[in-house]
Copies of this chain bind each other. A is one copy, B any other.
Amino acid sequence: MGDTIEFSELKPPERILMGPGPSNVHYRVYRALTTPIIGHLDPDFMKIMDDICEMLRFVFQTKNKLTIPISGTGSSGMEASFVNVLEPGDKVVIGVNGVFGERMVDVATRCGAEVIRIDEEWGYIIDPNRVIETLKKHPEVKVFAVVHAETSTGAMQPLEEIGKFLKGGETLFVVDAVTSLAGCELRVDEWGIDICYSGTQKCLSVPPGLSPITLSEKAVRVLHSKKSKAQSWYLDLSMIERYWGEERFYHHTAPISMLFALREGLRIILGEGLEERFKRHQTVGDYLKSGLMELGWKLFAQEGYRLPMLTSVILPDGLNDAEARRKLLYDYGIEVGVGLGKTRGKVWRIGLMGETCKRQNADALLLAIRDLIRK
């Protein structure tokens, strides 16, 4: 029966994770991962679930009751945001200025929705006025969705004006905050966001595998008043909320160890304080950007709308993308992100998120780049 196959001990190399996620993880989070698990219906586990929800509300800056981690990576949160409110034939407006906006279009289309796109050049934000004009023309639209931090381009989308416009209306405001949550200002309640989802492996600095999500009362009303069942059983929030709520009704076995990790990661964030954390991401991100510009490298994203935690930079002529990334990885232990989609080979995406977001990491990369160029 093949008992002869042998696999060596797990010994991955050490890396400074400066790609677009995952980011490095605090030792306290790893320690939490080693905590012997208990059952997903154990009364002691319920307390842990409640702690997580309360801390997530703090990080999302919301009072939304339905604020929970979905048992999948960030993309499962994206899918949950659409399958739980859309029905075939519903109209959706989506801002598309990068890979993750495109992904939203794909997900919404698979729900049978009619998608109206607002396209913008990659690296640029979508003008809130264009959004508002489009939504005025289509008052019947059920969802407007946009990516807060476009991880594929490094641009940060302004949300406040759009949220103000949508407040009080019927259209739901869906925001992808996979890369932004806990790395820069994101005020779910104040900005009128109805559904906001994220991932654990970016500025939360917890390994990938969970997708925190929050739904406003308005979104929950749509969830409950839908005629048809969500097309996804696994991501059906009308069932999942019964497990995370008072009823504790079993839906699926929760990913216990990852939830232990998330709880600890959130405790670390609370210990640092949100404002302090945002400031750190801004300062270290600015420091890296200055360093790159000093080298004569040009930034890809639109000035004034650059993400603090993810810097997209245009590769100078003559630098071989694949070779340079390979050297960074093997000679310096540094991972940076390749350009996605149409920027492949032309752009690097450099993350300074959560635990990775330290001046010494920015320095290590700048030094390595100087070395590479000199050679």
Chain A residues near B (Cβ < 8 Å)? 1-3, 5-7, 10, 12-15, 17, 19, 21-22, 24-25, 30-45, 48, 51, 54-55, 58, 61, 71-76, 78-79, 103, 106-107, 110-111, 199, 201, 207-209, 229-235, 250-258, 260-261, 263-264, 266-267, 270, 273-275, 329, 335, 338, 340
Contacts and interface: CB of A to CB of B under 8 A. Distances in A.
B258 A75 contact: no
Nearest to A34: B30
Contacts of A13: 38, 44
A252 B224 CA distance: 29
A275 to B, nearest CB: 7
A234 B329 CA distance: 29
A131 to B, nearest CB: 23
A241 to B, nearest CB: 16
A257 B260 contact: no
Contacts of A266: 7
A194 to B, nearest CB: 21
A234 B12 contact: no
Nearest to A61: B1
Contacts of A230: 110
A135 to B, nearest CB: 24
Contacts of A14: 36
Nearest to A2: B58
Contact of A5 (B21, B38, B54): B54
A363 B33 CA distance: 29
Contacts of A2: 58
B33 A34 contact: yes
B36 A110 contact: no
A14 to B, nearest CB: 6
A40 B25 CA distance: 14
A144 to B, nearest CB: 19
A256 B33 CA distance: 13
A85 to B, nearest CB: 15
A278 B168 CA distance: 60
A208 B17 contact: no
Contacts of A5: 54-55, 58, 270
B48 A234 contact: no
B231 A44 contact: no
A209 B255 contact: yes
Q: Which of A15, A31, A33, A106 has the most B CB atoms < 10 Å from its CB?
A: A33
Given A7-B263, A75-B233, A253 B48 contact: no
A231 B231 contact: yes
14 contacts: A1-B61, A1-B275, A7-B55, A10-B32, A10-B264, A12-B42, A17-B39, A22-B253, A40-B208, A42-B329, A78-B233, A103-B233, A209-B257, A232-B232
A111 B234 CA distance: 13
A347 to B, nearest CB: 15
A36 B12 contact: yes
Contacts of A260: 10, 12
A42 B13 CA distance: 10
Contacts of A274: 1, 3
Q: Which of A41, A73, A107 has the most B CB atoms < 10 Å from its CB?
A: A73
